[in-house]
Amino acid sequence: MLVRSVPHIPQLLHSNGQPPKGSSLFAANRDFVFVDFVGLCCKSKRTRRRIGDLNGRSFHRLATKNWSAIRAVLDLERVSNASEQVSDLKRKVAHLDDILSERGACGVGFIANLENKASHEIIKDAVTALGCMEHRGGCGADNDSGDGSGLMTSIPWDLFNDWAGKQGIGSIDKLHTGVGMVFLPKDDDLVNKAKTVIINIFKQEGLEVLGWRPVPVDASVVGYYARETMPNIQQVFVRVVKEENIDDIERELYVCRKLIERAVKSEAWASELYFCSLSNRTIVYKGMLRSEILARFYSDLQSNLYRSPFAIYHRRYSTNTSPRWPLAQPMRLLGHNGEINTIQGNLNWMQSRETSLKSPVWHGRENEICPYGNPKASDSANLDSAAELLLRSGRTPEEALMILVPEAYKKHPTLSIKYPEVVDFYDYYKGQMEAWDGPALLLFSDGKTVGACLDRNGLRPARYWRTRDNVVYVASEVGVLPVDDSKITMKGRLGPGMMISVDLQSGQVYENMEVKKRVALSNPYGKWVNENMRSFKPVNFLSTTVMDSEAILRCQQAYGYSSEDVQMVIETMAAQGKEPTFCMGDDIPLAVLSQKAHMLYDYFKQRFAQALELSDKNGHSEVMSQTGTNLSMNLASAVFFFRPAHVGHQRDLYDGKRLQLACYMESCLQPRGKYVQHHHTRIIIILLVSHLYTLESEVILVEAEQLKSLLIEQYMWCGLPVETVLHIVSFIMEVVDHGCLGKRNMMHEVTNPAIDPLREGLVMSLEVNLGKRGNILEVGPENASQVILPSPVLNEGELETLLKDPHLKPQVLSTFFDIRKGVDGSLEKTLYKLCQAADEAVRNGSQLLVLSDRSDELEPTRPAIPILLAVGAVHQHLIQNGLRMSASIVADTAQCFSTHQFACLIGYGASAVCPYLALETCRHWRLSNKTVNMMRNGKMPTVTIEQAQKNFCKGGEKGNGRPFCI
* Residues annotated as part of the active site: 106
The C-alpha atoms of residue 838 and residue 817 are separated, in whole angstroms, by: 16
Pairing of strands 145-154, 310-317: antiparallel
Structural element, H or E, at residue 902: helix 899-907
- In order of 753, 825, 901, the CA distances from 574 in angstroms are 32, 38, 17
The DSSP code for 570 is I
User: 3-class DSSP state for residue 23?
Assistant: coil
Angle, CA 965 vertex, CA 383 and CA 387 arms, to 5°: 15
Please check whether residue 689 is in contact with residue 662, taking contact to mean a CB–CB distance below 8 angstroms.
yes
The C-alpha atoms of residue 426 and residue 166 are separated, in whole angstroms, by: 53
CA-based R_g, the chain, Å: 30
φ, ψ (nearest 5 deg) of residue 10? -50, 135
The C-alpha atoms of residue 509 and residue 533 are separated, in whole angstroms, by: 34
Nearest CA to 294 out of 120, 478, 152 is that of: 152
φ, ψ (nearest 5 deg) of residue 685? -55, -50
Nearest CA to 208 out of 244, 237, 181, 183 is that of: 237
Please check whether residue 816 is in contact with residue 862, taking contact to mean a CB–CB distance below 8 angstroms.
yes
Pure H helices in 539-645: 549-558, 563-564, 571-576, 635-640
The set of long-range contacts for 17-21, using a CB threshold of 8 Å and a minimum separation of 24, is: 17/596, 17/597, 19/597, 20/860
φ, ψ (nearest 5 deg) of residue 61? -60, -45
The C-alpha atoms of residue 316 and residue 147 are separated, in whole angstroms, by: 6
Beta-sheet strand order (sheet of 471-475) = 282-289, 145-154, 310-317, 105-113, 471-475, 463-467, 488-493
Please check whether residue 455 is in contact with residue 437, taking contact to mean a CB–CB distance below 8 angstroms.
yes
Structural element, H or E, at residue 442: strand 440-445
Structural element, H or E, at residue 588: none
At position 954, the amino acid (one-letter code) is K
The DSSP code for 566 is I
The C-alpha atoms of residue 566 and residue 545 are separated, in whole angstroms, by: 16
The DSSP code for 866 is P
The C-alpha atoms of residue 124 and residue 126 are separated, in whole angstroms, by: 5
The C-alpha atoms of residue 104 and residue 314 are separated, in whole angstroms, by: 12
Nearest CA to 381 out of 316, 431, 292, 475 is that of: 316
Signed CA dihedral, 695, 699, 704, 708: sign only? negative
The DSSP code for 468 is T
Beta strands in 873-957 (DSSP E): 888-893, 912-915
Distance of CA 498 to the CA centre of its chain: 25
